[in-house]
């Protein structure tokens, strides 16, 4: 039983259970309107996050903080070595002319050098400005101009060319370095004559309220806005989540924690995960891709004990397992294993939480059989040592979470935004509740407004949008941040997200429909790639669906069809449409008949960053999609429902 047995043992420790208590506030009708969590970590009262590498180097110089992949080997990086590299690069930035409070943009995939740069910018008294490596020249132009960054460090020649093109019209184009051309070594050489005292002086001027980063939202509409996050904001997020999760996970696994960081460091979730791991001295490796086919070999090689990912990763691991079973002629066995997993996990959770009986002998026997046949393969795909994971970015399908739970990997969900320094809520490790995004992180409060909007308050909430007071005033109200998301709190303070205010569809029959629930469930089933639910001012709800290329290749292979079959033929193939209909049926099971998808269109192509239909954080740009596929949407409603 592995992790489930250990969780039960950990739950018996009151010192771990009681620390996650939440205060509930009800309105006069008895409905839960607010949940408040006391902080677990003391606030940052002096200094800044720039001190972290140097503190570790002084206290535990030989402790391994990171692992860096070189020539196929994950080599350890000690606290002393990491601090020395940070100091050398920070001196180079000062020598290059970085002023206190100056900004340095970093345009790179996730890699070890990004982490060095982040702390080096802070140690030099500066502020980092992350830029997605897939950003266009126009996007780079806006971020560099709006932030006032005088320096940009890119990863590749192509990134550097994008920056050069985008900033060509600037009166003072930024100075450029390139990681693939030894940027860190060049900076270290530039600053080799700078005295240690100058670096210490720069670092000493920073306070908790000093701006640490301008983190630009990827935005589904309009220009990105720069979220002003201080060292205190980031510390509150990282320190409190570490105090909530790390003691429990240590008790559960009985081993030192380690993780492979593959989320983009341009995204706030990746940044705060990195900070949390360094605070807790959790060994961390870096990997530059979130693509499951590229990531899986790295997971088997690094063998992390936990991961932080997005639902897409868990969906693809599940789909790969099913595809493998289908190739072996065992698709029906996998489907039964999935049904058993959901039943088993539900029963186990009821017993674990004291709300019902656990699995009976027959269900235990079925689970044991499929653990040999299916579930252990899932664990192997994730490196074999992983016992828990955190999923964020968008809701994880409840049944998918239960499937992983039965496979011995507990997936905890969280919810947050750039404006909340990443997670504002997270499922407490000893109180799993699939289908929710958890309770407020320690130190934060969540309130439900009269119109159902989720409001957040606490030290994790940002202070302003850079150079945009109107946008700031629109979302910060009496200390509360208005998220734009709709949700509800249950009697124990667990939050469920039901949709986005601006995305609510109203059919011509007057039915309000939140597309998020349908889209999340639809996207969780192969062969669906991406999808958009439509129906505003229409007689019924429908959907645009793209096909996942890997799923299509597998589908063709199993049926001995030509691998180069044109997509224009596939979208009309009734056998493939029948597979998509199963995914639609799964989505519809979560809603009423009036809210269900009555028709769908398989469309050619994909929603990608490159064609402007996805944000860098993989969120669908709804308005762009509906504009691009206006004819297909009209055709859906030209047919009988």
CATH for 439: 2.30.38.10
Q: Is residue 269 part of a domain?
A: no
Assess whether 33 and 80 both reside in one domain: no
The secondary structure element, H or E, covering residue 295 is helix 292-302
Instruction: For residues 479 and 456, give the distance between their C-alpha atoms in angstroms, rounded to a whole number.
Output: 9
Residues 6+ apart with CB under 8 A from 139: 131, 132, 166, 224
In the DSSP assignment, the letter for residue 374 is I
Top-ranked range on mean pLDDT: pick from 108-122, 368-382, 389-403:
108-122
**pLDDT tens by residue, 171-185:** 999 999 999 999 999
Same-domain check for residues 133 and 216: yes
Confidence of residue 220 (pLDDT cuts 50, 70, 90): very low
Q: Residue holding tokens 């397992």? A: 321
Q: Is the peptide bond before 575 cis (omega within 30 degrees of 0)?
A: no
Q: Is 602 domain-assigned?
A: yes
325 against 617, higher pLDDT: 325
CATH assignment at residue 66: 3.40.50.12780
Whether 143 and 205 map to the same domain: the answer is yes
**Mean pLDDT, rounded, of the chain:** 90
- Residue 263 within a domain: no
Roughly what angle, to the nearest 10 degrees, separates helices 231-253 and 3-11? 110
Q: Bigger pLDDT: 497 or 145?
A: 145
Same domain, 409 and 348: yes
* Strands 258-261 vs 283-286: parallel, antiparallel or unpaired: parallel
Share of the chain above pLDDT 70, in %: 95
Residues 22, 38: Cα–Cα separation, whole Å: 7
Distance from chain centroid for Cα 388: 15
Domain total of the chain: 3
Answer whether residue 287 is part of any domain: no
Residue 64's domain comprises: 49-231
pLDDT of residue 25: 96
| Residue 289 in domain | no
Give me the mean pLDDT over the 377-395 stretch: 85
Q: What is the pLDDT of residue 431?
A: 82
169 in any annotated domain: yes
459 and 345 assigned to the same domain: yes
Q: Is the pLDDT of residue 252 over 80?
A: no
User: Both 204 and 66 in a single domain?
Assistant: yes
Indicate which CATH number applies to the domain containing 545.
3.30.300.30
Which pLDDT score is estimated for 641? 41
Q: How far is CA 338 from CA 72, 365, 371, in A?
A: 35, 15, 11
Task: Render 165-201 in DSSP notation, one character per residue.
Answer: HHTTTSSSPPEEEEGGGTHHHHHHHHTTTS-HHHHHH
**Residue 640: pLDDT over 50:** no
Residue 357 sits in the same domain as residue 460: yes
pLDDT of 323 reads 84
For position 562, what pLDDT does the model report? 87
Residues 79 and 108 in one domain: yes
Q: Tell me which of 218 and 281 has the higher pLDDT.
A: 281
CA atoms within 13 Å, Cβ hemisphere of 17:
11
Query: Which of 468, 499, 530 is at the close of a domain?
Result: 499
What does the pLDDT look like over 274-311, one tens digit per residue?
999 999 999 999 999 888 788 888 999 999 999 998 88
The Cα 154–Cα 132 span in angstroms is 10
Q: Is the pLDDT of residue 326 over 90?
A: no
- Specify whether 314 is located in the same domain as 404: yes
Q: How confident is the model at residue 7 (pLDDT cuts 50, 70, 90)?
A: low
Per-residue pLDDT, averaged over 84-94, amounts to 98
Q: Is the pLDDT of residue 567 over 90?
A: no
H/E stretch holding 380: helix 376-381
Clarify whether residues 429 and 461 are in a common domain.
Answer: yes
Q: Which range, of 7-11, 58-62, 141-145, 297-301, averages the lowest pLDDT?
A: 7-11
- Is 585 among the domain residues? yes
**557 pLDDT band (50/70/90 cuts)?**
confident
Q: Does 272 fall in a domain?
A: no
Q: Tell whether 28 and 111 lie within a shared domain.
A: no
φ, ψ at 290 (rounded to 5°)? -100, 0
Query: Which of 210-214, 477-481, 589-593 reaches the highest mean pLDDT?
Result: 210-214
d(CA 233, CA 220): 24
Position 6 confidence tier, pLDDT thresholds 50, 70, 90: low
DSSP 459: T
Domain boundary among 499, 514, 541: 499
- Non-local (6+) Cβ contacts of 144 within 8 A are 105, 129, 152, 163, 166, 167, 170, 174
User: Which of 446, 471, 499 is at the close of a domain?
Assistant: 499
CA atoms of 462 and 455, how far apart (whole Å) = 13
Q: Is the pLDDT of residue 589 over 90?
A: no
Residues 359 and 484 in one domain: yes
Question: pLDDT at residue 159 above 50?
Answer: yes
């Amino acid at each position: 039983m592995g992790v489930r047995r250990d969780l039960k043992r950990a739950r018996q420790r009151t010192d771990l259970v009681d620390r996650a208590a939440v205060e509930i506030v009800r309105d006069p009708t008895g409905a839960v309107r607010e949940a408040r969590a006391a902080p677990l970590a003391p606030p940052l009262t002096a200094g800044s996050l720039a001190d972290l590498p140097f503190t570790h180097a002084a206290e535990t110089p030989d402790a391994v903080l990171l692992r860096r992949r070189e020539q196929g080997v994950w080599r350890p990086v000690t606290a002393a070595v990491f601090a020395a590299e940070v100091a050398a690069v920070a001196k180079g930035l000062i020598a290059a002319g970085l002023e206190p409070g100056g900004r340095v943009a970093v345009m790179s995939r996730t890699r070890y050098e990004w982490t060095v740069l982040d702390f080096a910018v802070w140690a030099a008294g500066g502020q980092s400005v992350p830029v997605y490596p897939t950003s266009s020249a126009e996007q780079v132009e806006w971020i560099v101009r709006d932030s006032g960054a005088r320096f940009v460090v890119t990863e590749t020649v192509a990134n550097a060319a994008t920056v050069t093109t985008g900033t060509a019209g600037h009166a003072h184009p930024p100075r450029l370095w390139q990681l693939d051309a030894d940027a860190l070594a060049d900076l270290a050489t530039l600053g080799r004559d700078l005295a240690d005292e100058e670096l210490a002086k720069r670092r000493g001027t920073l306070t908790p309220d000093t701006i640490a980063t301008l983190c630009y939202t990827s935005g589904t509409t309009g220009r990105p806005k720069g979220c002003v996050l201080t060292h205190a904001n980031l510390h509150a997020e990282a320190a409190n989540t570490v105090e909530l999760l790390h003691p429990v996970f240590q008790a559960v696994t009985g081993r030192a924690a380690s993780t492979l960081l593959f989320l983009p460091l341009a995204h706030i979730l990746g940044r705060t995960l990195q900070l949390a791991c360094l605070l807790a001295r959790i060994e961390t490796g870096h990997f530059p891709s979130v693509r499951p086919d590229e990531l899986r070999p790295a997971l088997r090689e690094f063998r992390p004990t936990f991961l932080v990912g997005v639902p897409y990763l868990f969906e693809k691991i599940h789909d790969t397992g099913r595809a493998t079973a289908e190739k072996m002629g065992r698709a029906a066995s996998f489907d039964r294993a999935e049904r058993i997993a959901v039943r088993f996990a539900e029963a186990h959770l009821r017993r674990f939480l004291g709300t019902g009986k656990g699995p009976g002998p027959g269900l235990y026997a079925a689970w044991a059989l499929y653990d040999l046949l299916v579930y252990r393969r899932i664990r192997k795909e994730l490196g074999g040592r992983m016992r828990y994971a955190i999923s964020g970015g968008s809701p994880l399908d409840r049944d998918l979470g239960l499937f992983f739970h039965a496979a011995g990997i507990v997936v905890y969900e969280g919810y947050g935004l750039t404006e909340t320094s990443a997670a504002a809520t997270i499922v407490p490790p000893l109180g799993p509740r699939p289908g929710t995004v958890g309770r407020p992180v320690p130190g934060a409060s969540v309130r439900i407004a009269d119109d159902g909007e989720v409001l957040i308050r606490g030290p994790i909430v940002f202070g302003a949008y850079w150079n945009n007071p109107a946008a700031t005033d629109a979302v910060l109200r009496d200390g509360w941040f208005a998220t734009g998301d709709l949700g509800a709190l249950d009697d124990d303070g667990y939050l469920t997200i039901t949709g986005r205010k601006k995305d609510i569809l109203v059919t011509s029959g007057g039915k309000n429909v939140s597309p998020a629930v349908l889209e999340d469930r639809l996207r969780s089933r192969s062969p669906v790639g991406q999808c958009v639910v439509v129906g505003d001012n229409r007689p019924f709800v429908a959907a645009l669906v793209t096909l996942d290329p890997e799923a299509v290749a597998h589908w063709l292979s199993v049926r001995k069809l030509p691998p180069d079959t044109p997509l224009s033929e596939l979208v009309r193939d009734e056998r493939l449409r029948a597979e998509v209909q199963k995914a639609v049926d799964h989505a519809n099971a979560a809603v009423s008949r009036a809210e269900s998808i009555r028709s769908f269109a398989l469309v050619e192509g994909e929603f990608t960053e490159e064609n402007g239909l996805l944000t860098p954080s993989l969120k669908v740009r709804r308005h762009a999609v509906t504009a691009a596929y206006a004819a297909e949407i009209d055709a859906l409603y030209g047919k009988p429902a």
